[in-house]
Amino acid sequence: MLFSRVKNSRDDMFDREYEFERITSAIDDGVPLIVLTGIRRVGKTTLVKVLLNEIDMAGVYIDARKLWSIHANIPPELIKKEIAKSLDARKSYAPVMRLLHSLKSVTIAGSGVEFKDKETDLIDVLEDIEKSGERTLIVFDEAQYLRYSNYDYTALFASLNDNYENITLILTGSEIQILEEFLGFNDRYSPLYKREHEIVHLDRFSKNESLQYLREGFGEVGLEIPENEIEDAVEVLDGIVGWLREYGWLRCRGRSHGVAIDEVFQRAKRDIIDELSRYSTRYLTIMMAVADGYLSWSSIKAYLERAEGKRINDGSLNTALRNLIRYGYLEKRSDGYHITDPVIERALRHG
């Protein structure tokens, strides 16, 4: 179902055939490292999870952002446990079960997949997977959060890139500049410098794709929605499938057009406040300034100084703006700064 939160197969996923085929083609060609980028809520997580279910290979899914939010640091021991947890959750899939039966380091107990030796480390597990002969995908969703670890995962990825034939890494990232800096494919001092990889970018839907998505989604559940309301939703939600899905799901729950749009805005505002509060309250103030139409550097500074009731150092503002661009919240255009997600922009103005 197109409006469901959890999607298990390509039948549940709208479009994305081109990106799906690019990834599977890269896997078939033996590309060791695939990077999937795109702004927040365009469907990266859905795509990789469907891929893990559809492809005839064992798969591991690790949510790096969730690990960071819980543990702050992400040591290799934690990744090792996540591999076991993911394999256990996915053992109903034949390729995963084939892998589990081939691994010497784990056992399938009543409580789940466990390591036979408590001293087994992450490298031991990866070497065991490699020697099993079973081709395996390991997905790190929002992989840029691995940079917060005291462990150098780029060195590990470089080693897998050079020496492992049976493991393919897929790294997703919404904070595209941060992910690029973390991986350092063009940084001569990075372990991944010039290493083989494939980058696949997931863009927002076009207007026609968005219209078709909502029409098909409502058609699945036999819900007749006026065309003018569908067109208005697409105009407001701007091709970002996460917001389109939220709108469709709310309409299926009986909300009117106006109420559904309002609830999407409320959800967007809660999300951005939660996300930015992890960094700095100043970042939220800057986002509100831009949402209110203060696009130039000088107008943003004046807005910020009024909000904080004190003078703001130029360097401090420059750092904040640069970070908001790196994190994927803002972009710099010829006429000033703009919020990348128009739903977030409207939500911040929405009150």
Q: For 17-65, how does the pLDDT look when each residue is reduced to its tens digit (9 = 90+)? A: 999 999 999 999 999 999 999 999 999 999 999 999 999 999 999 999 9
Q: How far apart are CA 38 and CA 19, in angstroms?
A: 12
Give the side-chain half-sphere CA count within 13 A for 314. 2
Task: For residue 89, name the pLDDT band (cuts at 50, 70, 90).
Answer: very high
Q: Give the per-residue pLDDT at 279.
A: 86
Q: Give the per-residue pLDDT at 155.
A: 98
Q: Give the per-residue pLDDT at 107.
A: 94
Q: How far apart are CA 190 and CA 6, in angstroms?
A: 36
Q: Assess contact for 346 and 265: CB atoms under 8 A.
A: yes
Q: How far apart are CA 49 and CA 137, in angstroms?
A: 11
Q: Give the per-residue pLDDT at 252.
A: 97
Greater model confidence, 123 or 350: 123
Q: Give the per-residue pLDDT at 341.
A: 94
336 membership: H or E segment, kind and range: strand 336-339
Q: What is the pLDDT of residues 134-148, one digit of tens each?
A: 999 999 999 999 999
Residue 88 has pLDDT above 90, yes or no: yes
Over residues 204-224, the mean pLDDT reads 97
Residue 140 — left, alpha, or beta (φ > 0 → left; ψ -120 to 50 → alpha)? beta
Q: Which domains are present in the chain?
A: 10-201 (3.40.50.300), 277-351 (1.10.10.10)
How much is the mean pLDDT over the chain?
A: 95
Residue 84 has pLDDT above 80, yes or no: yes
**Cα 223–chain centre separation:** 30
Residue 290 has pLDDT above 80, yes or no: yes
Residue 232 has pLDDT above 90, yes or no: yes
Residue 8 has pLDDT above 90, yes or no: no
Q: What is the pLDDT of residues 168-181, one digit of tens each?
A: 999 999 999 999 99
Over residues 303-311, the mean pLDDT reads 96
Q: Give the per-residue pLDDT at 110.
A: 82
Residue 337 has pLDDT above 90, yes or no: yes
Q: Give the per-residue pLDDT at 319.
A: 97
Q: How far apart are CA 351 and CA 346, in angstroms?
A: 9
Residue 351 has pLDDT above 80, yes or no: no
pLDDT above 70: percentage of residues in the chain: 100
Residue 111 has pLDDT above 90, yes or no: no
